[in-house]
Amino acid sequence: MRLLLDTHTALWLFNDYDKLSPKAKSILLDTTNELFISIVSAWEIAIKRSVGKLTDFPDGVKIFLAEIEASQMEMITILPQYVEKVEELPLMHRDPFDRIIIATALREKMTIITADENIHQYDVKCIW
């Protein structure tokens, strides 16, 4: 299965494993699954850290990127097709980071691993 991790899922995987659901833990540990993370997650962390949020992740984006590089996850860049897809999404949720993650998953036929109920409102495959 091709899985796209939401930002909080990746943070919890690297920093606060107990916050992951049992199902998410099982799926993330299954080596037959392909794990992906969007560069937008690193961007979101950098922005939130720079404005004083995300204090429970003291190592910042540099360590987050190093964790991704050391893992078996593949980093996805933002492609023009994803931006076009964002424009087509219904406006049920205004978070720009979540919207590009949703668009990426839809374009790439991926399932998002997320606890975020706002993402679950969209017509995108989600697991938690």
For 40-53, the pLDDT digits (tens) are 999 999 999 999 88
pTM of the model: 0.92
pLDDT for 89 beyond 90? yes
Q: What is the pLDDT of residues 2-41, one digit of tens each?
A: 999 999 999 999 888 899 999 999 999 999 999 999 999 9
Distance, CA of 72 to CA of 84 (rounded, Å): 28
Task: Write out the CATH class of domain 2-127.
Answer: alpha beta
pLDDT in tens, 59-75: 789 889 999 999 989 99
